[in-house]
Structure 1
Amino acid sequence: MLKPVLFTIMMGAALLPASASAQQQGSTGQQAQAGDVKLSKSDREFVEKAGQGGLFEVRLGQVAQQRAASPEVKRFAQRMIDDHSAVNKRLAELAQKKGVLVPQELDQDHREKIDKLSKKTGTEFDRAYMSEMVDDHEDDVEEFEEASKEVKDADLKGFAAATLPQLREHLTQAKQIQGKVKGK
């Protein structure tokens, strides 16, 4: 009865070569799972950074929905919520297949940024939020460009490359809106 179970597990772990999955079975019987895939340290660090960044974009977008004065800033914030929620979901699904957890809570640095921005309202918030969005997306584009070239895991590399155009678009839009709210 063990062979059908292993076959099912291996088919579910389509990202694993069948031989690696079978080798991971070991003496414990049914332990061959997609979660047994080991990412390199640098690949895990990329997942952590991308997860933190995506979560930050969503949470800060939610704050912007309440604090922003400009309808354009609010629309941008909603886009950040929608787009980064979708990217976060894809990253979480991929990471789960690789046996890595995506952060569910912000780290201290990101919490402090949100706390600082949460104290602002109106046009002051708009300027600070859009400045943060430009800075954050410049970092994101740089990290995802690097990951699309240097990440060892092919699926993770593909995720980075596929996400990059959207991040570039966010950066362009953030710079445009930043230019508009700076003068107000």
Structure 2
Amino acid sequence: MKPATTLLTLATAAMLWGCGTSNSTDSTEAADSANEAMADSAGTTAATAVAEEDAKFAVDAADGGMAEVALGELAQNKGTDPKVKEFGKMMVTDHTKANDELKALAAGKNITLPAVPSEDKQKVETDLSAKSGKDFDKAYIDQMVDDHQKTVKLFEDGQKNVKDVEIKAFIDKTLPVLRSHLDHIKSLDKAK
């Protein structure tokens, strides 16, 4: 037990150091590394490989969920079309709820989630925040279509590949909401 505790402490310290002083490791990569270290400390059984895949899904889902909340807040502040603002509000509400559920689930399973969105997702937010007016509305809608297509695929793949019963239940509960978001934003895109 002591070697596993020591390894976990070292992994946590490395993650905190990496997040605080290095630009080469973003929060998502640090979470993946911490989860891999935890799986490695448990041995190399088939169950460990499954747990690592499930943790990877949780990290990717959390990354996307946090980004949707941030972009939804941006849409509420910068959007000019009331439908864009309304969609942004829905993103904040629905993704905050899903993020909170995922955080609780991950905590119970000792899965480390990223503290902030990945550098790629932060860059998207920075790029969108530089836009205004109808240019912002169009760019936000395009981004939401792209993001939700990727997220729906992530969750559909998760339905097939995730082994943990509770994470699978989270996927089954969340996927219909994500599909409705995709349908909604596609209808906004067609209307533009």
Name the TM tier (shorter chain): 0.7 to 0.9
Partner residue of 2:179 out of 163, 168, 171: 168
Which runs of 4 or more aligned residues in structure 1 lie more than 4 Å from their structure 2 counterparts after TM superposition? 36-39
Larger of the two Rg values belongs to structure: 1
Tell me which amino acid in the other structure corresponds to 1:153. D
Partner residue of 2:100 out of 84, 89, 100: 89
TM-score, normalised via structure 1 length = 0.76
Shift in Å, 1:102:
2.2
Structure 2 partner of 1:13 = none
Structure 1 residues without counterparts, runs of 5 or longer: 1-23, 29-35
1:50 matched to 2:61: yes
Q: What is the distance in 2 between the residues matched to 1:104 and 1:81?
A: 17
Q: Could you tell me the percent identity over the aligned residues?
A: 38
Structure 2 partner of 1:132 = 143
Partner residue of 1:119 out of 117, 122, 130: 130
Residue by residue, what CA displacement relative to the aligned partner does 1:6-61 show, whole Å, maximum 9, x if unpaired? Answer: xxxxxxxxxxxxxxxxxx8xxx9xxxxxxx99762111110110000000000011
SS of equivalent to 1:40 = helix
Q: How many residues align?
A: 149
Partner residue of 2:82 out of 71, 75, 78: 71
Structure 2 residues without counterparts, runs of 5 or longer: 6-38, 43-47
Give the superposed CA RMSD: 2.0
Q: What is the distance in 2 between the residues matched to 1:93 and 1:67?
A: 31
Residue by residue, what CA displacement relative to the aligned partner does 1:92-118 show, whole Å, maximum 9, x if unpaired? Answer: 000000001222211110010000000
Structure 2 partner of 1:99 = 110
Deviates more, 1:97-106 or 1:83-92: 97-106
TM-score, normalised via structure 2 length = 0.73
1:150 matched to 2:161: yes
Q: What is the distance in 2 between the residues matched to 1:55 and 1:169?
A: 18
1:180 matched to 2:188: no
